[in-house]
Amino acid sequence: MKDCIVRMENIVKSFGSVRASRGVNLEVCPGEIHCLLGENGAGKTVLMSILYGLYQPDSGDIYYKNKKITIGSPKDAINLRIGMVHQHFMLVPTLTVAENIVLGQYPAWKVLSDMPAIQEKIYQLSKEFDLNVHPEALVQDLSVGEQQRVEILKALYHGADLLVLDEPTAVLTPQESEHLLSFLRELADKGLTILFITHKLEEVMQVSDRVTILRDGKAIATVNTSETNPRELARMMVGRDVLMELMKKEGESGEVIFSVRNLNVKDEKGLPAVKNLSLEVREREVVGIAGVSGNGQTELALALAGLVESQFDEIILNKHSLTQKDLSRLNHLGMAHIPEDRQKMGLILPFSVSENFIAETYRNEPFSKKGFLQFRTIKDYSNMLVKKFSIRVGDVDEAIANLSGGNQQKVVVARELDRRPKFLLVNQPTRGIDIGATEFVRQQILAERDAGSAILLISTDLEEIFALSDRILVMYEGRIMGEVPPDHNRVEEIGLMMAGKTEATA
Amino acid sequence: MDWANLRTRLTKMLRSVWSPFAAIPIALLLGALVLLAAGYNPITAYEAMWQGAFKDRTAFTEVLIKATPLMFIGVGLAVAFKCSIWNIGAEGQFYAGAVMATVTGIYLGDLPRLILIPLVLIMGTAGGALWGMLAAYLKNRFGASEVVTTIMLNYVAIYITGYLVTGPMIETKGLFPQTPKISEAAWLPRFLPPTRLHIGFIIAVLVAVLLYILIFKTSIGYTIRAVGINPIAARYAGINVKRNILLAMGISGGAAGLAGAVEVSAISYRLYQLISPGFGFDGIAVALLVNNNPLGVIFSSFLFGALRSGAEVMMMTAKVPSVLVSLIQGFVILSVVAFGVYRVTTVEKEE
């Protein structure tokens, strides 16, 4: 038997009727970067939560450093030198970096007197690993990438030999991701073992030594990264061949459905975020807005959805000139909106799947009659949508919070598309969802275009912009820098525009 | 509806309301220790308490009478809390309702009974609703936290009442700071003489059932719950969040105002300075104990009514000082809340 640091044997874990792990085996060698690849809902996070003591398995054994162990709580895991960086950071915003790192792990009465020593140790660690984190900074002042480094530092501070990262790049910009991956490689070279949960094939190929593929709560295979390719990984992960390229039908765009002239929007701090922006979207056309995140895309979407005040010369939807007031009831005027953050803006989480389906139409017949909700009709309608959009859900009365991210997004997409919008505003439609769902959502968007909708797509994922758009507008600091056709030969041009340079100035 | 479905729903319902009752033995045990330590015999004290609440028909109807205002206030607060509006101002809204009812009952006292009684109740409801909506307006217009404004509006309502009963509306004899009695045509009928049980109790149960239907079965309730859970998503879906805040506070205040009107027209027949012994605050616990389920409020208000009734008798016959009585009530609330938390966490784990 190979020497391994962690061996999980036949792990079974159920939540009620949902079987999250159905006998998973996993072996991780010391000093390797081991990816755990799988779609959302495949059981990656559950498996890692078991390893970190957050859940107890129903059956199965865990061996760590060749000893059979039970991990009753995260505290046990930390004592065993297992560190975990969760998808959602476990940091207290109003405390400093140093305070967060020792929080709960240090005798409370000694924290204050020992603080200088703690800070010094953190400072040294930060320097050694080139993490550039200041121990006295308040966590709330840090960027997302920096907060993640605090989480890693926390694990290192507690002497982790095994570091588990749950989809760490989901919250990062491409540059930050790049930085993180090379940093993880450095850590592994220093002897740390890293378990890396992801559903992104490129990351697996780029960073890992070995990869275990999970599907439907089972480990499908463990392969050496050097001996596989993305296509094979995708097939094992989804269980069938995956279209890596979407078929985009050629089609003539029609007349202008939606146009904006000189839109100005301010951000939360009152600074201009969108500056004199004008654009138009035609029938049977996807207009993609590319750009690095934080260049006014969020504010643009909020303004068009009528959720923040904006100034404009003219907004025309379907030949009707709109006022600021019209914007707040756009979904009655033929617009649908897939917002960028499904959990915050798109869904009402403790509500059931069916209650979420009717979030915009609950007041209309046939879903409510004389003010009374028609539960039978709502349920039938929900079952229809679940089938039509192949959403994986046990019962439509189940809380939507129990669904995986990809299936939650499908609920939003199904709800919005089923209203047959004339104009569809889509913001980051596939962020944080697995490739199966991504493929599906993108196909649906294209189908909607082919059916005649005018679609404005905002995405920081250039690949997505290229895959879906008929025209690409590049946004930088609230302005449209220029328009480019989706021609892969012109990626560099787009890249320059995203950095604020036009050919003239470059 | 098929039977299996009904059964699961009943079990669900029971599960959401059983904990207050299961927690009581623990609370009484803790209370017994305190009574012992203070040199009282807990058995006689509790016997007095039990007698006070359930000795005979009169005692039992007194429990229902005490539960009535708590039920009104509790269901109203349940609606506000479902909408995530932290209305701490039911006390003030109760006073606003009581003032409006008294004014109506005195100055329009010549109206016939069939008109006057509904009018008194409606005016009381309107008074409480407006008082509640004032806080909602301040929240919508200026972003003022309703926790702060409703607490402050409590004082305003209580002091206005104090002014009215010592000044412009004081009874003609002028002996006590209270108004004269309202017109007899405004008195709520009692239906189980010689007890004081009045139709206000039945109205309270009806209101609880109606608000349950409103919250869980209608599109209005859907909006209120959606706004309460995720106002951002609600706005994205095109729901007018501010209007719903106003509505939830209106319902909540209206129910508290109705409690005030019922108290005046069925029990006291007049307004005096401290007409509420803190109904508005007990109502918060009544609603929270049953996780803001309007039907559950019927049970939890009954529990509080029994405690209050029993405690009074315990004070009189077992000579237990009132501070100890309050202490035991505190134990009950704490253990019920603790049980509630336990229930929530175990249910979550099962799911």
> How large is the angle between the packed helices B3-37 and B42-54, nearest 10 degrees?
140
Q: Which of B230, B240, B292 to mutate to test the interface with A (most CBs of A within 10 A)?
A: B230
The CATH number of the domain where A97 resides is what?
Answer: 3.40.50.300
Q: Are A223 and A124 within one domain?
A: yes
**Nearest C-alpha of chain A: how many angstroms from B139?**
18
Residue A262 Ramachandran class (φ > 0 left, ψ -120 to 50 alpha, else beta): left
Give, for A161, the enclosing helix (H) or strand (E). Answer: none
Q: How far apart are CA B310 and CA B39, in angstroms?
A: 20
Q: Are A281 and A209 within one domain?
A: no
Q: Write the pLDDT tens digit of every residue in B141-167.
A: 999 999 999 999 999 999 999 999 998
| Chain B residues inside the 8 Å CB shell of A358 | 222
Considering only CA atoms, which of B292, B46, B74 is closest in space to residue B204? B74
Report, as an integer, the average pLDDT of A192-196. 93
Residue of A nearest to B225 (CA): A351
What is the 3-class SS of chain B, one letter each residue? CCHHHHHHHHHHHHHHHHHHHHHHHHHHHHHHHHHHHCCCCHHHHHHHHHHHHHCCHHHHHHHHHHHHHHHHHHHHHHHHHHCCCCCCCHHHHHHHHHHHHHHHHHHCCCCCHHHHHHHHHHHHHHHHHHHHHHHHHHHHHHCCCHHHHHHHHHHHHHHHHHHHHHCCCCCCCCCCCECCCCCHHHCCCECCCCCCCEHHHHHHHHHHHHHHHHHHHEHHHHHHHHHHHCHHHHHHCCCCHHHHHHHHHHHHHHHHHHHHHHHHHHHHCCCECCCCCCHHHHHHHHHHHCCCCHHHHHHHHHHHHHHHHHHHHHHHHCCCCHHHHHHHHHHHHHHHHHHHHHHHHHHHHHC
Q: Which of A55, A268, A341, A348 to mutate to test the interface with B (most CBs of B within 10 A)?
A: A348
Any CB–CB contact under 8 A between A337 and chain B? yes
Number of domains in chain A: 2
Contact A351 B238 (CB under 8 A): no
Q: How far apart are CA A433 and CA A42, in angstroms?
A: 12
Binding-site residues on chain B for chain A (CB distance < 8 A):
217-220, 222-223, 225-226, 229-230, 232-238, 350-351
Largest pairwise CA distance in chain B: 65
Contact B230 A346 (CB under 8 A): no
Contact B238 A344 (CB under 8 A): no
Q: For residue B94, name the pLDDT band (cuts at 50, 70, 90).
A: very high
Q: What is the pLDDT of residue A504?
A: 56
Q: How far apart are CA A358 and CA A308, in angstroms?
A: 24
ipTM of the complex: 0.80
Q: Are A96 and A187 within one domain?
A: yes
**Domain contains A383:** no
Contact A283, A452 (CB under 8 A): yes
**Domain contains B327:** no
Report, as an integer, the average pLDDT of B341-347. 56
Contact B233 A347 (CB under 8 A): yes
**Domain contains B202:** yes
**Domain contains A354:** no
Q: Are A119 and A223 within one domain?
A: yes
Statement: residue A230 has pLDDT above 60 = yes
**Nearest C-alpha of chain A: how many angstroms from B250?**
19
| Chain A residues inside the 8 Å CB shell of B234 | 348, 359
Q: What is the pLDDT of residue A270?
A: 83
A 9-28 near B (Cβ less than 8 A): 15-16
- Closest partner residue to A16 (CB to CB) among B223, B238, B351 is B351
Contact A373 B217 (CB under 8 A): yes
Contact A198, A204 (CB under 8 A): yes
| Chain B residues inside the 8 Å CB shell of A367 | 219
Q: Write the pLDDT tens digit of every residue in A315-370.
A: 998 888 888 878 777 777 888 999 988 888 889 988 999 999 999 888 888 899 99
Domain boundary among A175, A209, A238: A238
Contact A270, A293 (CB under 8 A): no
Q: How far apart are CA A296 and CA A479, in angstroms?
A: 8
Q: Are A292 and A429 within one domain?
A: yes
Determine the structural domain holding residue B125 and report its residue range.
Answer: 66-299
Number of domains in chain B: 1
Q: Are A233 and A264 within one domain?
A: no
Q: What is the pLDDT of residue B252?
A: 97
Q: Are A222 and A267 within one domain?
A: no
DSSP state for residue A345 in the 8-state scheme: I
**Nearest C-alpha of chain A: how many angstroms from B5?**
14
**Domain contains A379:** no
| pLDDT mean across residues, chain A | 86
Contact B222 A362 (CB under 8 A): yes
Q: Are A227 and A304 within one domain?
A: no
Q: How far apart are CA A182 and CA A355, in angstroms?
A: 44
DSSP state for residue A88 in the 8-state scheme: S
**Nearest C-alpha of chain A: how many angstroms from B214?**
8
Determine the structural domain holding residue A216 and report its residue range.
Answer: 6-238
Residue of A nearest to B351 (CA): A16
Q: Are A151 and A66 within one domain?
A: yes
Q: What is the pLDDT of residue A246?
A: 63
Q: How far apart are CA A160 and CA A101, in angstroms?
A: 13
Size of interface A-B (CB pairs under 8 A): 61
Structural tokens at position B3: 């039977």
B302 φ, ψ (degrees, to nearest 5): -60, -45
Q: Are A324 and A296 within one domain?
A: yes
**Domain contains A90:** yes
For A267-301, give one letter per residue: b (16+ CB within 10 A) or e: beeeeebbeebebbbbbbbbbbbbbbbebbbbbbb
Report, as an integer, the average pLDDT of A200-213. 89
**Nearest C-alpha of chain B: how many angstroms from A49?**
15
Q: What number of CA atoms fall less than 13 Å from residue A64's CA on the CB side? A: 17
Contact B238 A360 (CB under 8 A): yes
First to last CA, chain B: 25
Q: How far apart are CA A62 and CA A59, in angstroms?
A: 10
Q: Are A207 and A294 within one domain?
A: no
Q: What is the pLDDT of residue A244?
A: 58
Contact A92, A154 (CB under 8 A): no
Q: For residue B340, name the pLDDT band (cuts at 50, 70, 90).
A: low
Contact B230 A344 (CB under 8 A): yes
Report, as an integer, the average pLDDT of A119-129. 87
Q: Are A151 and A282 within one domain?
A: no
Tokens 């930088």 found at: A476
| Chain B residues inside the 8 Å CB shell of A355 | 222
Statement: residue A1 has pLDDT above 60 = no
Q: How far apart are CA B320 and CA B21, in angstroms?
A: 24
**Domain contains B286:** yes
